[in-house]
């Protein structure tokens, strides 16, 4: 009987995280999803994944709080006994979009703790376990994916803390790729562009205008499952000789043009 691989997806019950979970569930993965909502509020999402044949567990935890990281990994040990893929997806936008001449430190701290510091140190803990698993079973592939944003490179002066966090997370992916190469753990960055989620709902009209004005080579909104297919490709090992690679899922937004 084949042992099913296990993925931990932070922020996995909505938006991009859920799109990733859907694609992985269809491809035979079992899933531990994380979020800040209580379990009773994510039942429908979990049931949808279970209907695809996945064994699914949920752990309520705040990535910004270091004390919750061990809770997450212990849940993975108890439920599945293994971890093959970590997807650092959880992230928040600033509560208020404010010009960087006016934005406050509280917002900066909140966004960076969730979007950068949290995944950085969750990866530290998960990587130690993954490295130990690789030593015990060299035949199993282990992989870590950081979901960043086009904002790692594209400046938005009314949400500077978000851009700084994603740029830092991009470097974190590179650092972990270098550090974990000796353990044969592949690390990638997936960089979405304009994706239709609850996070972007409040700026839909603005992005509609930008898309209509030619911002993208492929003139449509991205979907969470567009990102999910990129993550699944990496998790399968389709780019096995490309650790440290940045995969942009942005409809060509990052292509320089005259």
Q: Is the C-alpha dihedral spanning 114, 60, 147, 128 positive or negative? A: positive
Q: Indicate which residue of 18, 162, 207, 241 is catalytic.
A: 162
- Whether 243 contacts 187, CB under 8 Å: yes
Is 241 noted as a catalytic residue in this protein?
no
Q: Is the C-alpha dihedral spanning 113, 149, 23, 233 positive or negative? A: negative
How many helices (H) and strands (E) would you count in the chain? 8, 7
Helix axes 160-180, 118-136, angle to 10 degrees: 20
Question: Within 10 A of 165 (CB to CB), how many other CB atoms are there?
Answer: 28
56 vs 78, 222, 241, CA distance in Å?
Answer: 13, 26, 30
Token pair of 180 as six digits = 């974990």
Question: Who's near 76: CB < 8 A, 6+ residues apart?
Answer: 6, 8, 32, 82, 83
So which residues are the catalytic ones? 162
């Amino acid at each position: 009987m084949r042992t099913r691989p296990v993925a931990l997806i932070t922020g996995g019950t909505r938006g991009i995280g859920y799109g990733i979970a859907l694609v992985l569930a269809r491809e035979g993965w079992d899933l531990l999803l994380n979020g800040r909502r209580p379990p009773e509020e994510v039942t429908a999402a979990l049931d949808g994944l279970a209907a695809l044949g996945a064994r699914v567990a949920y752990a309520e935890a705040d990535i910004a709080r270091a004390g919750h990281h061990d809770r997450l990994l212990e849940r993975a040990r108890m439920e599945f006994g293994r971890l093959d893929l970590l997807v650092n997806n959880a992230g928040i936008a600033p509560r208020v979009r404010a010009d960087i001449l006016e934005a406050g430190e509280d917002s900066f701290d909140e966004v960076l703790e969730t979007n950068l510091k949290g995944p950085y140190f969750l990866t530290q803990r998960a990587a130690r376990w993954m490295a130990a698993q690789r030593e015990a079973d060299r035949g199993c592939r282990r992989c870590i994916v950081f979901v960043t944003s086009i904002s790692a490179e594209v400046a938005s002066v009314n949400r500077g803390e978000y851009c700084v966090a994603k740029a830092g997370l991009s470097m974190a992916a590179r650092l972990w790729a270098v550090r974990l190469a000796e353990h044969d753990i592949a690390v990638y960055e997936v960089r979405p562009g304009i994706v239709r989620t609850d996070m972007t709902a409040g700026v839909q009209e603005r992005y509609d205008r930008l898309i209509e004005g030619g911002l993208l080579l492929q003139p449509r909104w991205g979907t969470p499952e567009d990102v999910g297919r990129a993550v699944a490709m990496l998790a399968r090992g389709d780019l096995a000789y490309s650790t440290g690679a940045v995969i942009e899922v942005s409809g060509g937004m990052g292509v320089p043009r005259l």
